[in-house]
Amino acid sequence: MSDKLIFRFVTGISIFVFLVVVILNRKILPAPSPVPSFVHFLPKLNAILNGTCSVLLLISLYFIKRGNVPMHKRINILAFCLSSLFLVSYIAFHWLAPETRFGDLNGDGVVSPEEAAKAGSIRYVYYVILISHIILAAGVLPLILMSFYRGLQMQVEKHRKLVRWTFPIWFYVTVTGVIVYLLISPYYNF
C-alpha cells in the first residue's frame, strides 16, 4: 500500500470516529431507556484503561530506549488495544448515560450558584484539564494510527519523527483522562 492510501485511510477512520463521538455525545441519537445497569461501571473502567495505557506507554519507552524492539512493539500493541477498548466504552457511556455536570451536587443537571461556590476554584482547574484533554484526544488518533503504520512497516526514521509528537500527546491524554475521572466522579448520580 502506498503512503498516500494509508494517509487517506487514517484520515477517514479519524473523521469517522470523531463524528461518532460528536453525534453520540450530543445525544442526536436517542439512548435506550432505562439506562442499562452496566453503564454506571464504564467511567471507572475508562479510568482503569487510561491509567493502564499510561503505564504501558512508559514501559514501551523503557524498552525502546534499551533497543528491545520486539517488547516495544508488543507493549504498544497492547496499549493500542486498550485504548481502542476505552474508545468503545467511552462512546457507549456518553451515548447511554445522562450528562454529568461538574459541581452539580443534587443531580438536577444545573449547577446553581451555591453548588458552584461549593465546588470552588477547582472547577476552573477541571475545565482547563478537560478542554485540553478533549482537544488533544481528538487530534491524537491519526498520530497514533500513522505511528503504528510507520512502526509496523519498519520505517524507523519516519516512525521516530512522528512519535516525538505522538508519545507525549497520547501520554498526556491518558493521564488527564484519569484526572478528569477523579475530579468528576463525585458528581455522578448513580
pLDDT digits (tens, 9 = 90+) for 28-72: 777 778 889 999 999 999 999 999 999 999 999 999 999 999 999
Cβ atoms of 148 and 83 closer than 8 Å: no
Is the confidence at residue 132, as pLDDT, over 90?
yes
Cα separation values, 87 from 53, 66, 84, 183, Å: 12, 31, 5, 20
Q: Is CATH 1.20.120.80 the right assignment for the domain spanning 18-27+37-98+112-187?
A: yes
Cα separation values, 133 from 19, 95, 108, 149, 170, Å: 17, 19, 26, 24, 10
d(CA 167, CA 110): 37
C-beta atoms surrounding 157 within 10 Å: 8
Q: What is the pLDDT of residue 109?
A: 87
d(CA 188, CA 165): 34
Closest CA to 173 of 142, 144, 134, 147: 134
Average pLDDT score over the chain:
93
Residue with more model confidence, 1 or 124? 124
Task: Give the model confidence (pLDDT) of 141-163 as tens digits.
Answer: 999 999 999 999 999 999 999 99
Is the confidence at residue 101, as pLDDT, over 90?
yes
